[in-house]
Amino acid sequence: MKKYHLFDVFGIELEYMLVNKKDLKIAPQVDELLLLKQGEITSDVENGEIAWSNELVAHVVELKTNGPAKDLKKLSDQFHQNIVEINELLAAKELQLLPTASHPMMNPLTDTQLWKHSYSEVYALYNRIFNCKGHGWANVQSMHINLPFYEDLEFEKLHAAIRVLLPLLPALAASSPIFEAKLTGFKDSRMQVYKTNQKEIPILAGKVIPERVFSKAAYYKEIFEPINQAITPYDTEKILEHHFLNSRGAIARFDRNAIEIRVLDLQECPKADLAIAMFVVEVLKWMIDHLDLEKLKLLHEDDLFSIFNETIRSAEEANIEHIEFLSVFGFTEKNYTAQEIWKLFFEKVADKLNDVTQQTLQVILKNGSLSTRILKALGENLSEENIVRVYQKLADCLQENKLFVS
pLDDT tens-digit map of 77-104: 999 999 999 999 999 999 999 999 999 9
CB hemisphere CA count around 148 (13 angstroms): 17
328-339 exposure pattern, b = at least 16 Cβ within 10 A, e = fewer: bbebeeeebbbb
AA letter at 87: N
Query: Does residue 400 carry a pLDDT above 80?
Result: yes
Tell me what the mean pLDDT of segment 166-174 comes to.
Answer: 98
AA letter at 312: I
DSSP secondary structure, 290-333, as one string = HS-HHHHHHS-HHHHHHHHHHHHHHGGG-EE--HHHHHHTT--S
Query: For the chain, how many helices (H) and strands (E)?
Result: 19, 12
Domain boundaries, the chain: 11-400
Predicted confidence at residue 122, as pLDDT, reads 73
Predicted confidence at residue 206, as pLDDT, reads 94
Q: Do residues 314 and 177 touch, judged by C-beta distance below 8 A?
A: no
Predicted confidence at residue 132, as pLDDT, reads 65
Predicted confidence at residue 125, as pLDDT, reads 77
pLDDT digits (tens, 9 = 90+) for 224-234: 999 999 999 98
pTM above 0.85, yes or no: yes
* Lowest pLDDT segment from 243-257, 273-287, 379-393: 243-257
- Helix, strand, coil fractions of the chain, as percent rounded to 5: 50, 15, 35
pLDDT digits (tens, 9 = 90+) for 39-61: 888 878 999 999 999 888 889 99
Indicate the helix (H) or strand (E) that contains 3: none
Q: Do residues 231 and 245 touch, judged by C-beta distance below 8 A?
A: yes
- Write the burial class of residue 92 (CB in 10 Å: 0-12 exposed, 13-18 middle, 19+ buried): exposed
Tell me what the mean pLDDT of segment 315-324 comes to.
Answer: 97
- The CATH-assigned architecture of domain 11-400 is 2-Layer Sandwich (3.30)
Task: Report the C-alpha gap between 235 and 244 in whole angstroms.
Answer: 13
CA dihedral 19, 20, 23, 26 (to 10 degrees): -40
Task: Report the C-alpha gap between 52 and 61 in whole angstroms.
Answer: 7
Task: Report the C-alpha gap between 58 and 52 in whole angstroms.
Answer: 13
Q: Quick check: helix, strand or coil at residue 160?
A: helix
Predicted confidence at residue 87, as pLDDT, reads 98
Query: Does residue 119 carry a pLDDT above 70?
Result: no
Query: Does residue 235 carry a pLDDT above 80?
Result: yes
User: What distance separates the 2 farthest-apart alpha carbons in the chain?
Assistant: 60
Predicted confidence at residue 129, as pLDDT, reads 77
Higher pLDDT, 1 or 359: 359
Residues 6+ apart with CB under 8 A from 290: none
Query: Does residue 136 carry a pLDDT above 80?
Result: no
* Lowest pLDDT segment from 36-45, 118-127, 278-287: 118-127
Tell me what the mean pLDDT of segment 292-314 comes to.
Answer: 98
Tell me what the mean pLDDT of segment 350-370 comes to.
Answer: 98
